[in-house]
Structure 1
Amino acid sequence: MEQSTNMKKKHPSALHPGILILNIIVSVLGAIIGMELITRLGISTNTSIVGALFAILIARIPINIFKSFRDINSQNLVQTAISGATFSAANGLMLPIGIPYLMGRPELVVPMLIGAGLAVVTDATILYFSFDTEAFPAIGAWPPGIAAAEAILAASRKGRKGVLLLVGIAGGVVGKMLTIPTDIFGVAWIGNIFALLAFGVGLIFRGYAPQWFGLDLNAMYIPHGVMIGAGLVALIQIIRILFKKDEGENSAGENFTRSLFEMKKGMGRGYLAYIAIALVIALAGGLLSHMSPAMMVFWIIFAAFAAIASELIVGIAAMHSGWFPAFATALIFLVLGMLIGFPPLALALLVGFTASTGPAFADMAYDLKAGWILRGSGADPEFEKEGRKQQYIAELISFMVAIIVVAFAHNFYFEQDLFPPVDRVYVATIEAGANIDVAMKLLIWAVPGAIIQFAGGPSRQLGVLFATGLLINYPIAGITVIAGLIIRTIVVKIFKQEGQNSLYVLGAGFIAGAAVYGFFTSTLKLGKK
């Protein structure tokens, strides 16, 4: 009887006037926050938790028009919208359009904005058709998604889990105040143990290699080479999953709500969309005057491949660790483009296009994970699919708002010489050029990356996560990951599954507390500036 009632339950619509209006308002807020943070501090914060808390507060206002927000699924739509707007405005739009401007080609900002906007939409659409498949299962970690869901559930249910979450949030805030990356503690208690161990080792090695071994990993292109090797093997592993025998359109299997057929169709259409977008960027950017027609065709094919490969690598890292190396993967494809011999303008458009894919893929996956938990962890497949569709609509609306906000506001930043810091890295890399020595270093270090990824298999992603750690100079995070994994191992050994369940909630609290603290302190820094 209970199941029958649940089957008839209607999910809130993202186009409901009340939800739509509020989502547009929070999307404008999220886009502004994203632009401010990416240009002034070089980061884009996780506004998903802030959006969830905002929706929870609104639900407590004793006015009829806010009654609909007492539904946790309505709160999930608000959280989805602000999160999508923040990451798309910052990573997906402002970052790409700053590159041609810094290269002295401001007339290419609009074509790059159009291309990046289309890429962000395509990015999220591919994820929509890939989420809860064998490659990107809903049962995967996606730690920030768990944190957002647990925050919403704790507010609605209270009880022991609510207390544990509040303890975790307090721990996350206090740890951040003491400069301890407590969000990493939370990730260590939620994510894949083997993948996180590889991530932690990579972080520590990157941070201490100069002192321990006298090695400058960046100068030797070790992180880039390892990621190229691991990334290529990871792509082959995903392709093997895609080409497994699939019984047809409706064969989602017992554990997944999406079939391999649907994912293959989504990936195929996504790649064709990327080719079309790359063609638009190439023609609008005047690449024909810089390259032969044959070279331009090759650029279009390579750019589309870079876009889809980047988002898959970013998605894998995000699923297991809650971190995504979007800046670094774009830099890797930039270096590969330089070795191929593309001219500077083509390289600028290539890295901008590649950088615009990945963040929306990862961020939307976090939001869908949160929604999946709130909707009962897949207990009702039809309700789950409908909820996911409404989140997708909310995400698309947030993208449209972000595109409009960035289109109107970007000049305000650029005229003050405010750009995402990584844009200057990309431009400096293009101006420095590449040579055969760089190619050899990438080739040499790609071999161990490929071996590690192959040895770990598609479920552990050791190579990609090790390379992600090598690309981030944050050794304290590596130490925190290892400490968190040791605590997790001890707790599970003593308290078994009950201990792991408590760590899930505590970990979500740590991530939430760190995100809220980071959001407000970043905003205060902007006020001082």
Structure 2
Amino acid sequence: MRPTAPTGPPAASDTDAAVPPRHPRALEPVTAVLTVLLSVLGALIGVVLITSLGVSPNTAVIGALVAMVIGRVPLRVLRGMRSPHRQNLVQSAVSGSTFAAANSLMTPIAVPFALGRTDLVWPMLGGAVIGLAVDSWVLYRVFDSRLLPASNAWPAGIAAAETIKAGDSGGRKAAVLGVSALVGLVGAALKLPTSAAGVAFLGNIWALLMFGVGLLVAQYAPTVLHTDLSAAHVPHGLMIGAGLVALGQAIRLMRGGRGKQPDVQGGGAGAEDAGADGAPAAPGAGAAGLPGPTVGTGRLRRGLLEGMGLFLVGALVVALTGGLMGGMAPAALAGWVALAGVAAVAHQLIVGLAAMHSGWFPAFAVTLIVLIVGLFLHIPTVPLALLVGYTASTGPAFADLGYDFKAGWLLRRDAVPWQPFELDGRRQQYIAQLLGFGVALVVVAVAWHSFFTDGRVPPVSKVYVTTITTGLDPDVMRTLLLWAIPGALIQLAGGSSRQLGVLLATGLLVATPQAGWMVLGALAVRYGYVRWRRRGARDAAERRRSDEEADNELSLVGAGLVAGSSLNDLGQLTKAL
């Protein structure tokens, strides 16, 4: 779906009518109460599923559906929930509470517990809270910049926005969404990764093509090549090389080097950055009628540098509360803090870029890479466990907030004047997510002990601890360095707008059976449908209009598939209880 241009600023004669519309407040009594109640539900779902099945479902669409149902309740006090913007606030908080509880809090604190150091759970929880808070703050500061543009895919965000819009407008859109959701639900119940097909209708074509290739190679390598690539650490090596190049590309954008805007999700031509001097671009500044970025290079640079400084402070807090001060020499402690800060920044950016393009984020795999680097540096067991836990707390909230901001961006894009309303709405979404994070923290603080002592520890945390205690095969680092070279070259070839190396490694690491076929099949359908819709187009303008209409229709189908798969994930709760 190619976002259409918002209506431009009003004429000078209309200045009295140019007062920015007031976006609904996240702390309005009814909205805030519903946000807290549904965030409790989201956090509980996240905790139960991450500790039992090792998954954290996307509850953004679920939150949107529940908010829409509440808005239809014939009570005057709930009438305001019919607003798509209030529904967006609630779904943002529900989604944030789920990922925060499962990925950013429960998984990190399980690492010292699984290691047998229950005394470090509370210090690790404090560090995870800092990681979560900095993660979300940085995304709020840099979303819709040249590095993380709102015009890019963010597939789960499109799914949430299309769900809200279809519920608001009804008619054919609601019917298409409902049928697609039913197909997604049935397919997921039959163990087919229908969400992968849905994402392929929503995301960046080039990035998803590489992602699908990675998924297929991972699926068939054991039978065709008689090699388990993951066990051989090939995907990890590719991710190291691609990730380092991706960080270099991010630094280049941060420093204000000129280049093209990242592709819009359909993979079309990029646009020259209108905000290269650090000033926000005006609406309509982008190519093909897209609004220009609201975050210039100056704010992007400040946001990332602020994040780096705050991550270093968080690492120091973990070191002090975790007792590392007395067990490490000053130089080693300083090195540990520096490594933890850099790892946190790298983790959030790699996870965020992968999520932006593909809707999947390799948080587990990137954390495992940090763990392997720590083993190579011979970091002692307890400091290494705290390093892994602190790194794991970053990334998922960064990606999830990007999805939610994308949903809000799509819902607000027709506002007049656009930019004040967009920035106000984004601020309210951030506040709503902070409410969700607070609820998640309370739920995890209350629930972790009973879950862990009952043996319900997140599976990924057990993998981290097993790797820490068994050590590193000397040949692993050689393999990582060898495969880092092609990963870096592929990432360089695709550029920052496509993230080909990161997405290839992500596909190899995710390795979900049949997901590669679903992604590539949906991409083929998408390509064929767009070409079919172009028939009879006589010039470039008609072809662009036809492509936009085709993308809009396929986005609705993709949103339904993702929604149906999310409903099936929610149904897994009965297995976990």
Instruction: Please tell me the TM-score bracket, short chain as reference.
Output: over 0.9
**Equivalent residues in 2 for 1:50-449, closer than 5 Å:** 50-244=62-256, 249-252=278-281, 254=285, 255-376=292-413, 380-449=418-487
For 1:335, the aligned partner's letter is: I
Once the two structures are TM-superposed, the CA of residue 162 in structure 1 deviates from its matched residue by: 2.3
Matched, 1:526 2:576: yes
Once the two structures are TM-superposed, the CA of residue 179 in structure 1 deviates from its matched residue by: 2.1
Q: CA separation in 2, counterparts of 1:270 and 1:184? A: 32
Q: CA separation in 1, counterparts of 2:297 and 2:130? A: 25
Q: Secondary structure at the match of 1:427?
A: helix
Q: CA separation in 1, counterparts of 2:231 and 2:110? A: 25
Q: CA separation in 2, counterparts of 1:90 and 1:23? A: 18
Greater helix proportion? 1
Q: Secondary structure at the match of 2:505?
A: helix
Summarize the Cα distance change of 1:25–1:11 in structure 2 as closer, same or farther, 3 Å threshold.
same
Q: Please say if residues 7 and 383 of structure 1, whose CA atoms lie closer than 8 Å, have aligned partners that are also in contact.
A: no
Between the two proteins, what is the percent identity of the paired residues? 48
For 1:299, the aligned partner's letter is: W
Q: Please say if residues 256 and 276 of structure 2, whose CA atoms lie closer than 8 Å, have aligned partners that are also in contact.
A: no
For 1:205, the aligned partner's letter is: V
Q: Please say if residues 204 and 357 of structure 2, whose CA atoms lie closer than 8 Å, have aligned partners that are also in contact.
A: yes
Report the more deviating stretch, 363-372 or 489-498.
Answer: 489-498
Summarize the Cα distance change of 1:378–1:131 in structure 2 as closer, same or farther, 3 Å threshold.
farther
Q: Please say if residues 127 and 364 of structure 1, whose CA atoms lie closer than 8 Å, have aligned partners that are also in contact.
A: yes
Alignment counterpart, residue 486 of structure 1, candidates 524, 528, 531: 524
For 1:516, the aligned partner's letter is: L
Q: CA separation in 1, counterparts of 2:25 and 2:66? A: 19
Q: Please say if residues 278 and 303 of structure 1, whose CA atoms lie closer than 8 Å, have aligned partners that are also in contact.
A: yes
Summarize the Cα distance change of 1:251–1:374 in structure 2 as closer, same or farther, 3 Å threshold.
closer
Matched, 1:24 2:36: yes
Once the two structures are TM-superposed, the CA of residue 435 in structure 1 deviates from its matched residue by: 4.4
For 2:499, the aligned partner's letter is: Q
Report the more deviating stretch, 370-379 or 113-122.
Answer: 370-379
Q: Please say if residues 96 and 353 of structure 1, whose CA atoms lie closer than 8 Å, have aligned partners that are also in contact.
A: yes
Q: Please say if residues 92 and 356 of structure 1, whose CA atoms lie closer than 8 Å, have aligned partners that are also in contact.
A: yes
Summarize the Cα distance change of 1:377–1:414 in structure 2 as closer, same or farther, 3 Å threshold.
farther
Q: Please say if residues 256 and 277 of structure 2, whose CA atoms lie closer than 8 Å, have aligned partners that are also in contact.
A: no
For 1:455, the aligned partner's letter is: A
Summarize the Cα distance change of 1:388–1:291 in structure 2 as closer, same or farther, 3 Å threshold.
same
Name the structure 1 match of 2:498: 460
Once the two structures are TM-superposed, the CA of residue 249 in structure 1 deviates from its matched residue by: 4.9
Q: CA separation in 1, counterparts of 2:251 and 2:438? A: 31
Name the structure 1 match of 2:53: 41
RMSD: 1.6
Q: CA separation in 1, counterparts of 2:455 and 2:186? A: 35
User: TM-score, normalization: structure 2?
Assistant: 0.89
Name the structure 1 match of 2:567: 516
Gaps of 5+ in 2: 1-6, 258-274, 286-291, 535-546
* Structure 1 residues 55-75: Cα deviation after superposition (integer angstroms, max 9, x where no partner): 101101111110111111011
Q: CA separation in 1, counterparts of 2:278 and 2:255? A: 14
Name the structure 1 match of 2:552: 501
Q: CA separation in 1, counterparts of 2:112 and 2:120? A: 6
Summarize the Cα distance change of 1:453–1:249 in structure 2 as closer, same or farther, 3 Å threshold.
closer
Q: Secondary structure at the match of 2:58?
A: coil
Summarize the Cα distance change of 1:441–1:434 in structure 2 as closer, same or farther, 3 Å threshold.
same
Q: Please say if residues 279 and 297 of structure 2, whose CA atoms lie closer than 8 Å, have aligned partners that are also in contact.
A: no
Q: Secondary structure at the match of 1:149?
A: helix
Once the two structures are TM-superposed, the CA of residue 6 in structure 1 deviates from its matched residue by: 7.5
Q: CA separation in 1, counterparts of 2:281 and 2:95? A: 28
Q: Please say if residues 230 and 508 of structure 2, whose CA atoms lie closer than 8 Å, have aligned partners that are also in contact.
A: no
Q: CA separation in 2, counterparts of 1:218 and 1:166? A: 38
Gaps of 5+ in 1: none
